[in-house]
A and B are shown apart, each in its own frame.
Chain A
């Protein structure tokens, strides 16, 4: 890691279950809240929140094996597609709807975000920042679709179908008239205090409508 990046590193963020975005999310969520995690994987974050914050934890996950593991952990997970799975929930059914590292994989990200803010009072969105300087350099110098630590896949096998930067997301929030309640930008386990769009590897936003 070049020196430049080190200079902009803010406070150290501990990890939760090996991930710093989980740590941030766990701190944003109030105890006993109703939480829906979209693309919840094997439910480790939800199980942690249920155990430690006493939340009412629900999840949606498409992968059959992960769903089984999540239910085996005791988390109420529904096997289904995020793109379709949200429609059945009534308005304001949850206090928080989480979308962690999955926005860039959804087919209709804007629709998903709108649905999140319909079924939840707040949406917490964590995504890898395509504006990170390494991505920019990789693209500039290689002349190929960038492959970095954050975006490790070849273009033909990447699950990512929409690439967005911190700036892109903020513009969308403005355009939709949503409110940013919290924005935490992370590089590794550190928060970034300025030049977010250049140095953030992962951004966590809490937004409301």
Chain B
């Protein structure tokens, strides 16, 4: 499956902060065919540093999509049956308008002039894309991590436009621990002199700060077990300790590599803005009453969490499930067994595929789609 990224521009987008963005670009990819009734569309919502290239092989880069193991012919999100859409989020740096985009008022990148955004803002822009594609009601919205937050936001903000939601390894509000990790990442970036108050475009950019932020992120995406299995205490290309501060352990080498690699593909200001959007995320808008927030949802739900995910622990999904059951909503939930920590939603595809496939098929049947 060779895929191409598409692009659409909207005149303006009103934001939760009160600011307005004019204009707004969105990049997206689609896989499969929209049926005549326009009833088989699934919107995939990417996680923090993801992009619109969710599946297939990109014509431009030759790289597979970030969820290619889940999306494609015969896969969980079966592109022979469903029309699958994935767009880059607002605030991102992979084509959709974000802090690295040109501010039409100044002709220069927005940088810190970019307004602070929320998960609800991201979802509002996605809804505009869905309108643009002529789809009244999505068969499903699905995503892991920050994608799960967007999925939940969809069911609350546009209840009549989502038949089903699949929030995976997510939460209904960012916890103190989740905010804490994000704040350390932001501080690493902002403490780098090359960040320069966000005004680094055309220059060097906060490569060290961004790499450190990513190293912290990677630790939180793995688990004690997965790190022990993957690295243990193995030394990197040496038999003995170096008795210096060069790389000794494999795990150090891995984190540095991941950090450096990330700098080449992600914008530091996007890191700041998107983590802030996640930290602001609270589906109850501060009321704390989850059941009340989910009262008017009309979707079926499938929630999935993973046993070793300590960044978005199962209890956060279970709280959503219990609130939905308290309102007698149609909800399925399972905690899948995995050693991969938060990364599990990207790599543990076997069992995830079975539950997602069954859930989508029954939703499609209920809506009168093909058997």
Contacts and interface: CB of A to CB of B under 8 A. Distances in A.
Contact of A64 (B300, B330, B335, B365): B335
Contacts of B354: 68-69, 71-72
Contact of A88 (B326, B330, B357, B358): B326
A16 interface: no
A67 interface: yes
Interface string A73-91: 1111111100000001110
Contact of B358 (A58, A73, A93): A73
B334 A64 contact: yes
B358 A78 contact: no
21 contacts: A64-B335, A68-B334, A68-B354, A68-B355, A69-B354, A71-B302, A71-B332, A71-B355, A72-B354, A72-B358, A74-B359, A74-B365, A75-B332, A77-B333, A78-B321, A80-B333, A88-B322, A89-B325, A89-B326, A90-B327, A90-B328
Interface of B: 300, 302, 318, 321-323, 325-328, 330-337, 351, 354-355, 357-359, 361-362, 365
A79 B358 contact: no
Contact of A76 (B300, B326, B357): B300
Contacts of B330: 56, 58, 76
Given A64-B335, A90-B328, A93-B328, A74 B322 contact: no
Nearest to A73: B358
A17 B20 CA distance: 59
Interface of A: 50, 56, 58, 64, 67-80, 88-90, 93
Nearest to A86: B325
Contacts, number: 64
Q: 4 shortest A-B CB distances, which residue pairs?
A: A74-B362, A72-B358, A76-B332, A72-B354
Given A90-B326, A90-B327, A79 B361 contact: no
A74 B337 contact: no
Contact of A71 (B321, B323, B337, B358): B358
A148 B321 CA distance: 40
A58 to B, nearest CB: 7
Contacts of A80: 318, 333
A78 B331 contact: yes
A74 B358 contact: yes
A68 B325 CA distance: 18
Contacts of B359: 71, 74
A129 to B, nearest CB: 32
Contacts of A79: 333-335
Nearest to A60: B325
Given A74-B359, A74-B362, A89 B335 contact: no
Contact of A72 (B336, B337, B355): B355
A90 B322 CA distance: 11
Contacts of B300: 76
Contacts of A70: 332
A78 B365 contact: no
A75 B335 CA distance: 16
B331 A76 contact: yes
Contacts of A73: 358, 362
Contacts of A67: 333-334
Contacts of A72: 354-355, 357-358
